[in-house]
Structure 1
Amino acid sequence: MNKQQLTFPKDFWWGSAWSAEQSEGRGETGKAETVWERWYKEQPYRFYQGISSETTTDHIHRYKEDVQLMKQTGHNSFRVSISWARMFPADGTGEVNPKAIEFYRDLFTEMNKNNIKVFANLYHFDMPAVLQDKGGWESREVVDAYVKFADTCFKEFGDLVYHWFTFNEPLGPILGSYLEDFHYPNIIDFKRGAQATHFTILAHAKAIAAHKKRDLNSKIGVILNLSPTFPRSQNPADVKAAEIADLFYVRSFLDPMVKGRYPEKLVELLREYDQLPSDYTEEDLACIKENTAQILGLNYYEPRRVKARLTAVNPEGPFLPDWFFENHVMPGRRMNEYRGWEIYEKGIHDLCMDIKENYGNIESFISENGMGVANEERFMDETGQVIDDYRIEYVQDHLAYLWKAINDGCNIKGYHLWTFIDCWSWINAYKNRYGLVSLDLPTQKRTIKKSGEFYKQLSDQNGFEYDVDRLV
Structure 2
Amino acid sequence: MKTFPKDFLWGAAISAPQSEGHGSLNGKSPSTWDKWYEMNPEKFSKNQGPEHTSNMYETYCEDAKRMNAIHLNSFRTSIAWTRLLPDGKTVNSEAVAFYRSYFNELRSNGVKPIINLFHFDMPWWLMKKGGWEARESVEAFAFYANTCFELFGDLVELWTTFNEPMVHVECGYLYGYHYPAIHDLKKAIQVGFHTLMAHTLAVKSFKEGKYSGQIGIILNVSPCYPKSQSKEDLEAAQLADLLNTKSFLDPTVLGTIPENLIELLAANELLPKVETNDLNTIKKNTVDFIGMNYYQPRRVQAPTKINQPALSPADFYEHYDWSGKKINPYRGWEIYPEALYDVALMIKNEYKNIAWYVSENGMGVADEERFMDQTGMIQDDYRIEFMQEHLAQLHKGIEAGSNCFGYHSWTFIDCWSWLNGYKNRYGFYRLDLENDQRTLKQSGHWFKEVVDRNGLI
TM-score, with length taken from structure 1 = 0.95
Residue of structure 2 in register with 1:122 after alignment: 117
Q: How is 1:44-193 mapped onto 2 (pairs within 5 angstroms)? A: 44-89=41-86, 91=87, 93-193=88-188
Residue 293 (structure 1) aligned with residue 290 (structure 2): no
Distance in 1, matches of 2:41 and 2:257, equals 38
Residue 16 (structure 1) aligned with residue 8 (structure 2): no
AA aligned to 1:320 is: S
Residue of structure 2 in register with 1:196 after alignment: 191
Q: Which of 341, 347, 356 is equivalent to 2:333?
A: 341
Partner of 1:282: helix, strand, or coil? coil
Residue 378 (structure 1) aligned with residue 370 (structure 2): yes
Measured after TM superposition, the shift of residue 176 of structure 1 is 0.8
AA aligned to 2:197 is: L
Distance in 1, matches of 2:307 and 2:185, equals 15
Q: Which of 302, 306, 311 is equivalent to 2:300?
A: 306
Measured after TM superposition, the shift of residue 319 of structure 1 is 0.7
Measured after TM superposition, the shift of residue 314 of structure 1 is 5.7
Measured after TM superposition, the shift of residue 41 of structure 1 is 1.2
Measured after TM superposition, the shift of residue 312 of structure 1 is 2.3
Residue of structure 2 in register with 1:34 after alignment: 31
Q: How is 1:312-351 mapped onto 2 (pairs within 5 angstroms)? A: 312-313=305-306, 319-351=311-343
Measured after TM superposition, the shift of residue 96 of structure 1 is 0.5
Q: Which contiguous aligned blocks of 4+ residues in structure 1 show a shift greater than 6 angstroms?
A: none
Residue of structure 2 in register with 1:281 after alignment: 275
Contact 1:30 1:99 in 2 (8 A): yes
Contact 2:292 2:357 in 1 (8 A): yes
Distance in 2, matches of 1:284 and 1:38, equals 32
Q: Which of 411, 414, 422 is equivalent to 1:419?
A: 411
Distance in 2, matches of 1:58 and 1:214, equals 34
Partner of 1:122: helix, strand, or coil? strand
Distance in 1, matches of 2:331 and 2:71, equals 26
Residue 451 (structure 1) aligned with residue 443 (structure 2): yes
Partner of 2:305: helix, strand, or coil? coil
Partner of 1:365: helix, strand, or coil? strand
AA aligned to 1:156 is: L
AA aligned to 2:206 is: H
Deviations 1:115-170 (A, max 9, x none): 11010000000011110111111112121111111001000100000200000000
Deviations 1:332-388 (A, max 9, x none): 110001011000010000011111110100000000000000000000011211100
Distance in 2, matches of 1:154 and 1:326, equals 41
Partner of 1:249: helix, strand, or coil? helix
AA aligned to 1:41 is: E
Measured after TM superposition, the shift of residue 262 of structure 1 is 1.0
Residue of structure 2 in register with 1:470 after alignment: none
Partner of 2:277: helix, strand, or coil? helix
Contact 1:369 1:418 in 2 (8 A): yes
Measured after TM superposition, the shift of residue 250 of structure 1 is 0.9
Residue 428 (structure 1) aligned with residue 420 (structure 2): yes
Partner of 1:181: helix, strand, or coil? coil
Distance in 2, matches of 1:271 and 1:68, equals 53
Measured after TM superposition, the shift of residue 282 of structure 1 is 2.9
Residue 369 (structure 1) aligned with residue 361 (structure 2): yes
Measured after TM superposition, the shift of residue 217 of structure 1 is 2.3
Q: Which of 240, 246, 255 is equivalent to 2:250?
A: 255
Contact 2:430 2:441 in 1 (8 A): yes
Identity of aligned residues (%): 49
AA aligned to 2:351 is: Y
AA aligned to 2:280 is: A
AA aligned to 2:305 is: A
Distance in 1, matches of 2:110 and 2:440, equals 20
Deviations 1:193-240 (A, max 9, x none): 111111111111110111112222210000000000000111111101
Moved more, 65-74 or 407-416: 65-74
Partner of 1:119: helix, strand, or coil? strand
Contact 1:74 1:458 in 2 (8 A): no
AA aligned to 2:65 is: Q
Deviations 1:382-405 (A, max 9, x none): 121110011011101000000000
Measured after TM superposition, the shift of residue 72 of structure 1 is 1.3
Residue 270 (structure 1) aligned with residue 262 (structure 2): no
Contact 1:17 1:368 in 2 (8 A): yes
Measured after TM superposition, the shift of residue 74 of structure 1 is 2.0
Deviations 1:243-291 (A, max 9, x none): 11111111111111111111111111110110111x2123111111111
TM-score, with length taken from structure 2 = 0.98
Partner of 1:362: helix, strand, or coil? coil
| Stretches of structure 2 lacking an aligned partner (at least 5 in a row) | none
Partner of 2:299: helix, strand, or coil? strand
Distance in 2, matches of 1:165 and 1:325, equals 30
AA aligned to 1:285 is: L
Deviations 1:402-447 (A, max 9, x none): 0000000000000000000000001011010000000001110000
